[in-house]
Amino acid sequence: MLHLPSIQICCLSDNKYKDSSSKTLKFKESNSRTTTTYKKGYLNKESKPQNVNLEISPHRAVSAVRLMRIEFGGAFADLLNEKGKGSGDNEMGYVERTLGFCTRDLDDRDLRVVTDIVGGTIRWRKYLDYLILSLCHDPNGFSRMEPLLLQILRIGFYEIVKLENPSYAVINENVQLAKIALRPGAGNMVNGILRKLVSLKESNSLPSPQVEGDDRAQARALATLHSHPVWMVRRWIKYLGREEAVKLMNWNNSDPRFSLRANRGKGFTRSELVSRLETLEVPYELSPHLDDFVRISTGMQSVIQDGLLKEGLCSVQDESAGLVVSIVDPQPGETIIDCCAAPGGKTLFMAACLNGEGMVTAIDINKGRLRILKETAKLQQLNNVVTTVHADLRTFHESNSITYDKVLLDAPCSGLGVLSKRADLRWNRKSEDMEELKSLQDELLDAASMLVKPGGVLVYSTCSIDPEENEDRVAAFLLRHQEYSIDSAERYISPEFLTEHGYYFSSPVKNSLDGAFAARLLRCP
């Protein structure tokens, strides 16, 4: 198994509690490398601007540096400012600064290809590394491989094995990238390994781990085949069984599907959103669960370029998150507090439901993300019912005496329900983190419970499918707080999402949505 350098990530699910010094978690990236060093010579080249190199595929160059940023985090902190994030021009400038050469700018098709290659390479990283190691024959050489060279190989392997792109083009362009970004010898190595891969693939002789032996050995083989950490596979087999665990991993490795919510706060209806999508020729499907939501599987780039998001007419939000708001059931005139609000999707949906009457207070510990939430609320014309408060929920009650009709705690969690959209999360979690997360969730639940009016509602939610973060946390809370009882979610959601205890739960496998959980709790009058 590769061991990459320890990367400190001061965020939990959705980057919540990013500034919390007492609860900073350290996650280690893990795959099959034992050590990684990187040389300033090729990561931070000070070379003078060169002429545009048309031999280099621009989307492969950008994919390589983006994969480096994702894997090594802070080493690439100077990449893009918030305003320019995702800009092709900025990305190409970064290629020049880090790899030392220019290539042509990205067009729209290139941007889509970058998204596909980066997302797929991250998802399949463990399996790709297994193949690379199998073809290298020298484990020591693989463990010492330069990070950029490894990314180029991963890209090539992913394109050949999973995308089934024309092998001659994949080999030629990745060889050119290795030669120019590193040295001629690196290009020769890429050429030899990719050609061997193509030969094995064409003869149906690709190496494959055998699912046999004891439970541990089988879990390791399944983890490699489906490219997930072994601890996750073992945990899912324990709770779901092997067949359901494999289905879940297949879902996580599939192309992510997205939902758009029409922002009724701005007077924009789902019908109007549908009309815009039809004009853009973006295929869509109406959500069967939520009136404001539309599903799309392709065409997000067209939606972005058309300005629908920039103008605040719609938001990207999974239906699983929208159903959490259904559990809260915001009504005009109510006072609601969202305890871990940023990035604000649920906050803004709840605010839109108030029809201009009432107030949603959004608390978050991250001042920067809270500022973005405030700006988005203004963009969506919801700033008259949204108030932001920069605070740590765990100490907020010390300076606050106000109680609320409804309190939503969308708690920091492992994010194990959103791995199809957040492929990198699977490599940024380890089993030990679960205990720290559960402790934090308990603290936050206790703090949130103090903000509820007598007779009011507390909703605890996560984007996790793990029972220890969900049902177990609610059960532990109810033992500590006799003044609360379960209010079944049956009045607010379809029966397919209702658990035997009256909680809301969306299953990626069963419901084809992100995994999510919510419990509606009543405080006695």
Q: What HEC string does 290-323 produce?
A: CCCEEEECCCHHHHHHCCCCCCCCEEECCHHHHH
Would you say 86 is a known binding-site residue?
no
Encoding tokens for residue 163? 């995308």
Q: How many CB atoms lie within 10 A of CB 68?
A: 21
Does residue 10 have a known ligand-binding role? no
Q: What is the pLDDT of residue 54?
A: 74
Q: What tens digit of pLDDT does each residue of 21-66 get?
A: 333 333 233 333 333 334 333 444 444 445 667 778 888 998 998 8
Place of tokens 């031999």: 55
Residue-wise pLDDT for 318-376, tens only, equals 999 999 999 999 999 999 999 999 999 999 999 999 999 999 999 999 999 999 999 99
Instruction: Give the Cα separation of 220 and 214 in Å (integer).
Output: 10
Helices and strands (H and E) in the chain: how many = 21, 14
351 annotated ligand binder: no
| Amino acid present at 451 | L
pLDDT of residue 51: 62
Reported pTM: 0.86
Q: Quote the pLDDT of residue 11.
A: 30
Low-confidence ranges of the chain (pLDDT < 50): 1-49, 74-87
Alpha-carbon distance 382 to 353, whole Å?
A: 10
pLDDT (0 to 100) of residue 90? 64
Q: Residue 440 in contact with residue 25, Cβ under 8 Å?
A: no
Instruction: Give the model's pLDDT for residue 143.
Output: 83
102 is annotated as contributing to ligand binding: no
10 catalytic residue (yes or no): no
SS3 25: strand
Query: In the numeric block, which tokens belong to residue 67?
Result: 């994969």
Q: Flag whether 343 is marked binding.
A: yes
**Which residue in 11, 314, 463, 524 is the catalytic one?**
463
The hierarchical CATH code for the domain 258-316 is: 3.30.70.1170
- Beta-ladder partners of 294: 260, 286
Cα–Cα distances in angstroms (integers) from residue 166 to residues 125, 169, 170, 198, 506, in the given order: 21, 6, 6, 10, 39
Coil vs helix vs strand at 103: coil
410 assigned to a ligand binding site: yes
What letter does residue 498 receive in the DSSP assignment? B
344 assigned ligand-binding residue: yes
- What lies within 8 Å, CB to CB, of 186 at 6+ separation is 146, 149, 152, 178, 179
Q: In this predicted structure, what is the pLDDT of residue 139?
A: 76
Residue type, 474: V
At residue 359, what are phi and psi to the nearest 5 degrees? -155, 135
CATH superfamily label, 20-202: NusB-like (1.10.940.10)
CATH 3.40.50.150 correct for 319-523: yes
Closest CA relative to residue 58, chosen from 121, 113, 106, 90:
106
Report the DSSP pairing between strands 359-364 and 335-338: parallel
Q: What per-residue confidence (pLDDT) applies to 50?
A: 54
